[in-house]
């Protein structure tokens, strides 16, 4: 895993910076102490205070058991846009983006790195340059770079907020306004360490915009746009205004409207191509299970 320290992350300890990506601060500390983490090419202690622009690389292979060579062989996904520089993936719900504890194989990044002519140009292939991520049970669009230069350019565009990430979210109840912005810092929850919330000791800037797309008796379909991209941001922010995402087992109520996961879908991705300068806009229709839940909401079901 490689990441560039964003300006709003500067000043954090190295182990705190990596806690979200690696699942816990203790795991981050173990990898740092094992020499699996470098900052600008040099090993640093866990107490190292990161600066904006530093490149942090994590090699967690030391804690992974031996696994089959083709780790992403069973993974399927759609590719609605692709050229020689990048591709846009339509991720199904249930697919983990990066390997992590409990999900060492069968991830999207591993599938993209397979020897597959449709997704790997040239004889040498490429390492999947995922620019952002989606939660396991969130479906929809992700952009992937095919070179370090394109990856860096897309990350910079994301930090400048020049990438449009639009989601469809069905929420419980109805917001009091047709449009709104939720501006509330997010971090790891003080009490439940597997969750993120606005009740945190390490708040990070987070803003989410929403607009009502369709209103029903007990639910509302929102169009949600991210200005920042914190872990679980949409789910946390909508819970914070008392309108949790329908079917969300972590931040709301599971099993609503026949849902087996949260009703959250990354439906539109738009950005300027970092090489050609062309305007790229890709859309993804709602998956069938979300369409069925929407029909139940329209029918007045709880």
- Catalytic site residues? 135
> What residues contact 245, with CB distance under 8 A and at least 6 apart?
169, 170, 171, 172, 234, 235, 238, 239, 251, 252, 262, 263, 264
Rounded CA separation 273/191 (Å): 42
Give, as one character, the DSSP assignment of residue 215: E
Q: From the centroid of its chain, how far is CA 141?
A: 10
Q: From the centroid of its chain, how far is CA 210?
A: 18
87-112: b (≥16 Cβ within 10 Å) or e: bbbbbebebbbebbeeebbbbbbbbb
Rounded CA separation 78/89 (Å): 6
Rounded CA separation 179/288 (Å): 27
Rounded CA separation 72/87 (Å): 17
> What residues contact 246, with CB distance under 8 A and at least 6 apart?
170, 171, 172, 219, 252, 253, 256, 257, 259, 262, 263, 293, 297
The CA–CA distances, whole Å, from 116 to 65, 111, 124 equal 24, 9, 11
194-223: b (≥16 Cβ within 10 Å) or e: ebbbbbbeeebebbbbbebeeebeebbbbb
What is the per-residue DSSP string for 36-59?
A: -EEETTEE--TTPBP-TT-EEEE-
């Amino acid at each position: 895993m490689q990441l560039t320290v964003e300006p709003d992350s500067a000043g954090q300890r190295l182990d705190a910076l990596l806690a979200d990506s690696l699942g816990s601060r203790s795991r981050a500390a173990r990898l740092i102490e094992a020499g699996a983490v470098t900052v600008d090419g040099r090993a640093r202690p866990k107490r190292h205070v990161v600066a904006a622009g530093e490149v942090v690389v994590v090699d967690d292979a030391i804690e992974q058991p031996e696994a089959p060579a083709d780790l992403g062989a069973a993974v399927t996904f759609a590719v609605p846009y692709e050229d020689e520089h990048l591709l846009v993936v339509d991720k199904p719900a249930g697919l983990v983006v990066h390997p992590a504890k409990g999900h060492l194989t069968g991830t999207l990044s591993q599938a993209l790195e397979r020897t597959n002519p449709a997704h790997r140009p040239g004889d040498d292939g490429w390492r999947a340059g995922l620019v952002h991520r989606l939660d396991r049970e969130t479906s929809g669009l992700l952009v992937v770079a095919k070179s370090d230069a394109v990856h860096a350019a897309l990350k910079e565009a994301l930090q400048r907020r020049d990438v449009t990430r639009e989601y469809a979210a069905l929420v419980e109840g109805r917001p009091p306004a047709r449009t709104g912005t939720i501006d509330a810092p997010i971090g790891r929850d003080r009490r439940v360490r597997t969750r993120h919330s606005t009740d945190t000791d390490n708040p990070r800037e987070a803003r989410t915009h929403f607009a009502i797309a369709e209103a029903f008796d007990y639910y509302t379909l929102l169009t949600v746009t991210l200005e920042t991209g914190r872990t679980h941001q949409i789910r946390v922010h909508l819970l914070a205004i008392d309108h949790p995402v329908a079917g969300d087992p972590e931040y709301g109520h599971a099993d609503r409207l026949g849902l087996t996961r949260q009703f959250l879908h990354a439906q539109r991705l738009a950005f300027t191509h970092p090489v050609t300068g062309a305007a790229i806009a890709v859309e993804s229709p709602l998956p069938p299970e979300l369409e069925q839940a929407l029909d139940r909401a329209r029918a007045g079901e709880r």
